[in-house]
Amino acid sequence: MDCAVIAKEIKRDDLLQMYYYLRLTRALEDRITALYRQGRIVGGVYTSHGMEAIAVGYASALERDDIIAPFHRDMGAFLIRGFTPGEVLAQYLGKRTGPTKGKDGNVHMGDLKRGVFGFVSHLADNLPVAAGAALAFKIRGESRVAFAGTGDGGSSRGDFHEAMNFAAVRKLPVVFFCNNNQYAYSTPLRLQMAVADVVDRAKAYGMPGEIVDGNDVAAVYVAAKQAIARARAGEGPTFLEFKTMRMHGHSEHDPAKYVPRELLEEWKMKDPILKAEQLLQSLGYGEERYFQEVVDRVKREVEAGVEFAQQSPLPEGPEVLIGVFADSADSH
């Protein structure tokens, strides 16, 4: 479908807001990368550079009450759910003000109050869990939806397949997505699966699936809206394959020499921010000056976040012992 045609279905303010979150994600992650290069961040740094449209698109399509079980390149979803750049940076720096209070690092964070399940490294582990959230919504007759994803690599895990099957059998209100960025760490798609499209995996479970341009925030948004509507209407799960490309290494320590340079050049032209700007311009919603304003604004917000994170205290050693068990399950 033509971008501009799809975009007509989206309110101007929503599109502008998505543009803002694309820019915020990019600025925040670029800053994180810079901090990493300066040796200020220990541990892994996984960015969504070039893939920002996916999380920004789907998280914008969800209602506040819906649950997200994000993937490790879904920074935009965290930001849309109200995680501030300062909190995110504090998390990366291991500070007490981060969402995990220093217990975990990088995007391994979550907050039930904001409807975001904590990411589990073991890829696809959270998909059955998301199906379980959807099961709860169904049992209680709530009109809520769970949205959960993994990468092309993660889609090879047994838990991915078990989650899909279970959700399909019970017609659970869950949307599964895969961001197919063509590489799992160094493993190219052809060594990951013998099918060309991840969406084919959904067929085996009797689940409708769709391939979506993952670099087009409007296309992601519209596809997500439709899948979410299906789920809310009791018609069961949908699978969305967002085609995209990972523009940085697997993590910032990885120079990704295994990726052909031409492939990166090709995808650079399809940069989601570039695409969004072209779309906004074609619709008459924004022009250069406006884009620059957004760039300046997110830069200020990210710098304020850096300030906050740097000023924040590190946790103290004995805090290790806090929180292994819950005192109550009712505080959410």
Query: Which residues, in sequence order, are CB contacts of 94 under 8 Å at separation 6+?
Result: 42, 43, 102, 105, 314, 315
* 3-class state of residue 251 by DSSP: coil
Report, in Å, the least distance between residue 185 CB and ligand TPP: 4
Residue in 66, 74, 87, 104 binding other proteins, rule: CB under 8 A: 104
Residue in 50, 57, 105, 132 binding other proteins, rule: CB under 8 A: 105
Query: Which residues, in sequence order, are CB contacts of 144 under 8 Å at separation 6+?
Result: 63, 65, 66, 67, 137, 173, 232
Rounded distance, CA 114 to CA 73, Å? 18
Rounded distance, CA 281 to CA 291, Å? 10
Q: Is 185 in the site for other proteins (CB under 8 A)?
A: yes
Residue 147 half-sphere exposure toward CB, CA atoms < 13 A? 34
Rounded distance, CA 249 to CA 14, Å? 31
The piece of 58-66, 82-90, 177-185, 235-243 that touches ligand TPP (CB under 6 A) is 177-185
Q: Is 106 in the site for ligand TPP (CB under 6 A)?
A: no
Q: Is 153 in the site for ligand TPP (CB under 6 A)?
A: yes
Q: Is 201 in the site for ligand TPP (CB under 6 A)?
A: no
Rounded distance, CA 227 to CA 210, Å? 9
Report, in Å, the least distance between residue 148 CB and other proteins: 17
What are residue 34's phi and psi, to 5 degrees?
A: -65, -45
The piece of 116-124, 134-142, 272-280, 290-298 that touches ligand TPP (CB under 6 A) is 116-124
Rounded distance, CA 146 to CA 136, Å? 10
Residue in 1, 16, 193, 264 binding other proteins, rule: CB under 8 A: 193
* 3-class state of residue 211 by DSSP: strand
Name the residue nearer to other proteins (CB basis): 266 or 319.
319
Q: Which does 73 bind (CB under 5 to 8 A by kind): other proteins, ligand TPP, none?
A: ligand TPP
Report, in Å, the least distance between residue 127 CB and other proteins: 13
Query: Which residues, in sequence order, are CB contacts of 113 under 8 Å at separation 6+?
Result: 332
Q: Which does 115 bind (CB under 5 to 8 A by kind): ligand TPP, other proteins, none?
A: none
Positions touching ligand TPP (CB under 6 A) are 73, 121-123, 150-154, 157, 181, 183-185, 246, 250
Residues near other proteins, by CB under 8 A: 42-44, 94-95, 100, 102-106, 108, 120-123, 153-154, 156-159, 184-187, 191-193, 258, 314-321, 324
